[in-house]
Amino acid sequence: MPYLNQNIIDIFSIGYVIAEWTIRIAMLIVVPLRRPPGSARGWLVAALFIPIPALILYLLIGRPTYPRWRRKRFTKARQMLAIATDEINHSEFCSRPVLPDTYASASKLVENLGQFPIMGGNKVNLLADYDGVIDELVADINRARHHVHILTYIFANDRTGSKIIEALKNAAERGVECRVLIDALGSRRWSRDIIDQLTSGGVQAARALPVTFLRRRSARADLRNHRKIAIIDSSHGFIGSQNIIDAQYAPGLFNRELVVHVAGPVVLEMQAVFAADWFLETGQVLDEATFFQHRHGAGSTTAQLLPSGPDYPVAGAGRLVVALIYSARRRIVITTPYFIPDVALVQALETAVMRGVEVILILSRASDSQLVGLAQRSYYEQMLRAGIAIYLYPDGLLHAKHIMIDELICVIGSTNIDIRSFQLNAEASLILYDEKVANMLEAEQDKNIAASDRLNRESWDQRPRPVKLVENIARLVSPLL
């Protein structure tokens, strides 16, 4: 009997080893196909050390694509976007200004990536006061006459969330059509209460990309709708990095954000993205004649919206950032809370310095994810050696996400400088072609630089070796974060 048991154990052990090596070899063949090198490396490292868990994880979240039913629905959503874009293009109120050469190639790339054209006649204001953003949004909701549409990653059941809920319920009582779409995972702690409160007050509300194991149409947990957009009466909008949650959502951690308050034709592009996302989650089609009403321009700023995410055939956000970096001639300033670049972005930044371009990274010293923070810090030495200036914001979490190129082109939105934003999340970025807006953004960046500590290469090199080791291990799996 003991002999039989030993044989069973030996057979099981041999089978286990064969299974592990079969997984390793299979993933070595499959993983690199149509996958960025950094991401492939992360999966292969995981397969080498923990092959069976790596296989399970890969089958669950390894391929950044949505289920077939959603891809079919998005085909129709893209048709809706195309129709809306055509309507915008042919409106007598929506001007398409002729851009100088310094802007033309960037705007053409954005249009090819996200399909939306440049729109002139916009009025833009940059809002950096956290509570001031909420107050402005509440004021616009209170003035709404026809509809309010809000799409956000986090909608918390706290003081800030209560302000927005009350304003929306009051608007619905006045006969204003209100719709709210919140990411199911980002708002998981509050989504049920938030939706109950909103729907009981006459507001239409839905969860984006719900994750459940019992529903056929459950979404993958790692593919999220990270956009932050609000549209009021098709004329005013908000877009940026700020969620609907108190600034101090965690003890001792205050968020610092930047939001664009915009009026003008580009708001219709924001409306089109909301309409597509609303259709994807609810199956409801918003009436074009009602929600895409064209009005005269409100200002002089030229703007363009870039939506991106797994639904789109090309990974738009990353391509745009790399292209803008290569186009820079004088100065690049990037502000982001999460900096986990891929190979293409690292090479673009290093090449920019070699071309004589000043490159500045404004990052947050604090992080709301320890593993992400470790992976991010592993890139600092390489950036410093390349001659890139790094400023670490010490007061809370600098959650703003924006880029300025040569004091000419500004990119502001929900997109972080990491692989998650470039490939996995649905994001929205507003590209602004205006020197006055660039001056406003430069003033905001200068405030952040003045409040930050510049990272010194010599002192950074003196970090203890165990710390460097942990950071480098985190870097190995950073493409999976």
DSSP string, 379-429: THHHHHHHT-EEEEE-SSEE---EEEETTTEEEEES--EEHIIIIISBEEE
Q: Residue 274: what pLDDT?
A: 96
- Mean pLDDT in residue range 293-301: 78
Read off the pLDDT band of 78 (50, 70, 90).
confident
Name the band, by pLDDT with cuts 50, 70 and 90, for residue 61.
low
3-class secondary-structure state, position 435: helix
Whole-number Å distance between alpha carbons of 85 and 271 = 11
Q: How far apart are the first and last CA of the chain?
A: 49
pLDDT at 360: 98
* Beta strand 331-336 pairing with 358-364: parallel
> Does residue 28 carry a pLDDT above 70?
yes
Q: How far is CA 477 from CA 51, 77, 343, 448, in A?
A: 14, 34, 14, 30
Say whether pLDDT at 352 is over 80.
yes
Residue 91: per-residue pLDDT: 67
Q: State residue 262's pLDDT score.
A: 98
* Angle, in degrees to the nearest 10, between helices 316-327 and 101-114: 170
Indicate whether 34 pLDDT > 60. Answer: no
CB 176 within 8 A of CB 148: yes
Express each pLDDT in 95-152 by its tens digit.
677 777 878 899 999 999 988 989 999 999 999 999 999 999 999 999 999 999 999 9
Q: Name the pLDDT band for 447 (thresholds 50, 70, 90).
A: very high
Instruction: Please state the length of the chain.
Output: 481
Instruction: Tell me the mean pLDDT in the region 55-83.
Output: 72
- Which has more confidence, 25 or 239? 239
Residues whose CB falls within 8 Å of the CB of residue 457, separated by 6 or more in sequence, listed in order: 381, 384, 385
DSSP code per residue over 311-341: TSSS-HHHHHHHHHHHH-SSEEEEEES-EE-
Name the percent of the chain lying above pLDDT 90: 57
Q: How far is CA 313 from CA 114, 115, 222, 301, 439, in A?
A: 10, 11, 18, 29, 34
Tokens standing for 399? Answer: 């959650």
Location of structure tokens 């930044």: 349
Q: Cβ(136)–Cβ(242) under 8 Å?
A: no
Q: With bands split at pLDDT 50, 70 and 90, how would you rate the model's confidence at 6?
A: low
Residue 3 has pLDDT above 60, yes or no: no
Q: Please compute the mean of the pLDDT values over residues 145-167 and round it to a whole number.
A: 97
Structure tokens at 455: 């990272």
Distances (CA, A) of 160 to 125, 137, 242, 367, 396: 21, 11, 12, 22, 18
Q: Distance between CA atoms of 396 and 44, rounded to whole angstroms?
A: 35
- How many of the other CB atoms lie within 10 Å of CB of 283? 9
pLDDT of residue 481 exceeding 60, the answer is no
Q: How far, in whole angstroms, is CA 116 from its chain's centroid?
A: 18
- pLDDT by residue (tens digit) across 401-418? 999 999 999 999 999 999
Q: For the ranges 272-276, 367-371, 372-376, 413-417, which has the lowest average pLDDT?
A: 367-371
Structure tokens at 124: 């833009």
Mean pLDDT rounded to a whole number for the chain: 87
Please tell me what DSSP assigns to residue 233.
Answer: T
Give the sign of the dihedral formed by CA 317, CA 81, CA 240, CA 310. Answer: negative
Check: CB of residue 122 under 8 Å from CB of residue 301.
Answer: yes
218, pLDDT greater than 80: no
Q: Report the alpha-carbon angle 220-224-230, nearest 5.
A: 150
More confident residue, 356 or 34: 356
Smallest CA-to-CA distance from 270 within 324, 232, 222 is with 232
Q: In the structure encoding, which two tokens stand for residue 271, read together?
A: 């409306």
pLDDT for position 311:
75
Return the pLDDT at 398: 95
Whole-angstrom distance, CA of residue 285 vs CA of residue 462:
58
